[in-house]
Amino acid sequence: MTNRLSTSQSPYLKQHQYNPVFWQPWDEQALNQAKNENKLILVSIGYSTCHWCHVMEKESFESEEVAKVMNDRFVCIKVDREENPEIDQIYMTAVQLMGNRGGWPLNCICLPDGRPIYGGTYFPKNEWISVLSQIHDFWLEKPNLAIEFAEKLANGIKNSERLPIQIEQFSFQKSDLQLVVEKWKNSFDRTWGGLGHAPKFPMPNDLNFWLEYSFYNQDAEADTHLEKTLRFMASGGIFDQVEGGFCRYSVDERWHIPHFEKMLYDNAQLISLYASAYKINPLPKYKRTIENTINWCISDLKGDNGGYFCALDADSEGVEGKYYTFTKEEFDSILGEDAQLFSEHFQVTAEGNWEEEKTNVLYTLPDSDEIALEVGFEGEEWENLLKKAQEKLKNHRKSRIRPDRDEKQLASWNSLLISGFVNAYKALGKDLYLQEAIAIQKFIEEHLEQKDGSLLRQPIFGESKTLGVLEDYAHYIHALLDLYEISFDDSYLYKANELTDYVIDHFLDEDETFFYFTHQDAPVLINRKIEVLDNVIPSSNSVMMKNLLKIYTIFEKPIYREIVYRAMRSVLPELKKYPSSYSNWASLLQSLIVGTQEIVLSGKDTLNWIEELYKYQTPYQFIFWGHEKSEVPILKNRLSLDKKAYICENNSCSLPIENKEDLVLLLNKVTKNFIN
């Protein structure tokens, strides 16, 4: 027998279709049942590759005893947080306002109208039964108290991330940024890199800010923190040393033991980050990390339609990490005569280095490449030996049962990967990366763009159509702007401009300062939320503000710049207090202080300069190429058949520059002026 989840598109919901719990999807039928029967709603939120979601399912949701309690007393609704992030946001905020730690599985008990009254994450079986019984009895005995609490909590949800609008106009100063930086530095882990203690999450936004800050300010402490974090992450078990790709987080402070699920959004952003770092500091480890992560994405996450899937599970055969780990005996038999060398390189021991007996999670020392050179290996020789060993280990893994794959294809995560491929192409110059970026955009265009100018979050499944949320638009617009810089196809700029206008019309709030997370035509649950805080993925508002700044410059739309400044002024007080929660806003703040620049190339032969310019392009510079048919406003009156270039800032441009060498010299001079 199945419940109502059997016809769902979501792999997560399908995982629960045979539970004895009568799960329902989030739809009018389930919500109306709760109102008609005056039953509490139990909303359980997770995603298909979530390890503790699997644990709670096995312990509780597959139990007939637990199912009877849930079915008799509640309307039980399952939600895929990746498919419906707007629902997840509401209930995650509720749980955090109750003083509980957020995470998944997220379980929230609500009034029949959907307003939450209690919630938490993972519950052991007996505790879960007790919680359900107590809340049910409370609702029957003291409904007025439950309603009163729900009203207070709903107001708290409504006001969360709602920042006071700063009417006063003021300019941003370097002193503002210094206050942010000094407070932020207090949270550095100066031993292992990253922030704080275990568990450790790769935070691409944070590290991207420090990369940009270090570039413009020559801060030795920021330099050290950035390089240490990047080296330790790429060397640790959190990075799959065999097939490539980063796991979601490490359970320890030194990046060694991962929580083994691999997510597209992490890897897409980390490709971008390591590509930017490689341009500044071309370490072999960074290059290998980029290439191996991209190879893993293509081999394990790419669909036949050109789009990329969401994630790989942490578990296989019901055991976390089983696919990824090795015993010493197994490792030696695979590598033969090279086993001793690579046992030392990957820290493999007979005792094992993980909680499972005699099991090893492969990791390396952060200076492993330097050690190889010191003991006598040539650089290319070492790379070839390492690839040979990785190939043998990879082939052995093919005999194992692979972790399950979540085959949702989300607009926002695919857009992040477009930007990852663009940055990798700029850093390494491989045509494959350019081709993949273009192919993903074609996937979005064919499967997710709608005739009315809107975006879907994922491809249509049967009669199911999932509306895009702000993060889908924001990351796609950003990806289109990135794509332009490696293709110089004006259509990307025009599409980005059209989508931006659509977002202004359908997502902008009443104060014309921030954007709602949901489309104005989407159903409203409690309230339309505004997402401002940056997390592992930057907030949709901070990404959108960066987009507006570029669109303002390209298409000469001053209103977009006004929105950016209003938003930044409103965020600044919170940014100064909680910098790591506003990391992408910190990057925006620095760009407003430093100033952005446009490098405008004109004349057919200037395309030959592009590869060289990518090496010198600074974080807040954008490259444009004008051809005789181009009508993009920023290129107006700057088109020529002759080789010429301009560096533009604040709506004024330099005199024409007629050769690549002079352009590079001027770019270097401009950069030094930033630093000073």
CATH of the domain at 146: 3.40.30.10
The CA-based dihedral angle spanning residues 98, 127, 132, 524, taken in that order and rounded to the nearest 10 degrees: 40
Give every residue of the chain whose pLDDT is below 50, as ranges. none
d(CA 492, CA 485): 10
522 to 116, 466, 525, 562: CA distances (angstroms): 20, 10, 9, 27
Residues 361/354, Cβ–Cβ less than 8 Å: yes
Residue 74 lies in a domain: yes
pTM above 0.85, yes or no: yes
DSSP state of 560: H
Query: Quick one: pLDDT at residue 675?
Result: 53
Residue 301 lies in a domain: yes
- Residue 559's SS3 state is helix
Do residues 365 and 509 both lie within one domain?
A: no
Residue 568 lies in a domain: yes
d(CA 67, CA 69): 5
Query: Quick one: pLDDT at residue 165?
Result: 77
Do residues 90 and 204 both lie within one domain?
A: no
Phi/psi of residue 271, each to 5°? -60, -45
**Sole residue written with tokens 């290129």:** 635
Domain edge (last residue) among 370, 397, 424 = 397
DSSP state of 160: T
DSSP state of 661: H
Query: Quick one: pLDDT at residue 95?
Result: 93
Output the domain CATH number for residue 430.
Answer: 1.50.10.10
Q: Which sign does the torsion angle of CA 425, 428, 430, 436 carry? A: negative
Residue 4 lies in a domain: no
Residues 350/328, Cβ–Cβ less than 8 Å: yes
One DSSP character per residue, 74-141 reads: EEEEEEETTT-HHHHHHHHHHHHHTTPPP-SSEEEEE-TTS-EEEEES---HHHHHHHHHHHHHHHHH
What are the residues whose beta carbons fall under 8 Å from the beta carbon of 551, sequence distance 6 or more?
Answer: 477, 496, 497, 500, 557, 560
Residue 169 lies in a domain: no
Task: Count CA atoms closer than 13 A to 337's CA, side-chain side.
Answer: 2
Do residues 341 and 266 both lie within one domain?
A: no
Residue from 56, 74, 77, 84 nearest 136 by CA: 74
Residues 133/70, Cβ–Cβ less than 8 Å: no
d(CA 676, CA 218): 10
Helix H or strand E encompassing 597: strand 597-602
d(CA 280, CA 263): 26
Q: How many domains does the chain have?
A: 4
d(CA 499, CA 295): 31
Do residues 416 and 558 both lie within one domain?
A: yes
List, for residues 145-166, the tens digit of each pLDDT value.
Answer: 999 999 999 999 888 877 877 7
Residue 6 lies in a domain: no
Query: Quick one: pLDDT at residue 606?
Result: 85
Residue 165 lies in a domain: no
Task: List residues bridging with 250 in a β-sheet.
Answer: 200, 258
Query: Quick one: pLDDT at residue 47?
Result: 94
Which residue range forms the structural domain that includes residue 84?
A: 11-159
Do residues 283 and 419 both lie within one domain?
A: yes
Do residues 520 and 572 both lie within one domain?
A: yes
**Burial grade of 537 (CB within 10 A; 0-12, 13-18, 19 or more):** buried
d(CA 106, CA 96): 11
Residues 40/136, Cβ–Cβ less than 8 Å: yes
Amino acid at position 420, single letter: G
What are the residues whose beta carbons fall under 8 Å from the beta carbon of 676, sequence distance 6 or more?
Answer: none
What's the token pair of residue 220? 């030795």
Domain edge (last residue) among 594, 622, 650 = 594
Do residues 585 and 610 both lie within one domain?
A: no
Pairing of strands 311-312, 262-263: antiparallel
Do residues 132 and 27 both lie within one domain?
A: yes
Query: Quick one: pLDDT at residue 202?
Result: 94
DSSP state of 635: G
What are the residues whose beta carbons fall under 8 Å from the beta carbon of 546, sequence distance 6 or more?
Answer: 478, 584, 587, 588, 591
d(CA 584, CA 582): 6
Do residues 518 and 631 both lie within one domain?
A: no
One DSSP character per residue, 33-80 reads: HHHHHTPEEEEEEE-TT-HHHHHHIIIIIT-HHHHHHHHHHEEEEEEE
Do residues 237 and 280 both lie within one domain?
A: yes
Do residues 220 and 344 both lie within one domain?
A: no
Residue 164 lies in a domain: no
**Sole residue written with tokens 């100033």:** 595
What are the residues whose beta carbons fall under 8 Å from the beta carbon of 164, sequence distance 6 or more?
Answer: 570
What are the residues whose beta carbons fall under 8 Å from the beta carbon of 462, sequence distance 6 or more?
Answer: 7, 9
Query: Quick one: pLDDT at residue 297?
Result: 98
Do residues 418 and 282 both lie within one domain?
A: yes
Helix H or strand E encompassing 298: helix 284-301
Residue from 13, 48, 2, 42 nearest 404 by CA: 48
Domain edge (last residue) among 526, 559, 594 = 594
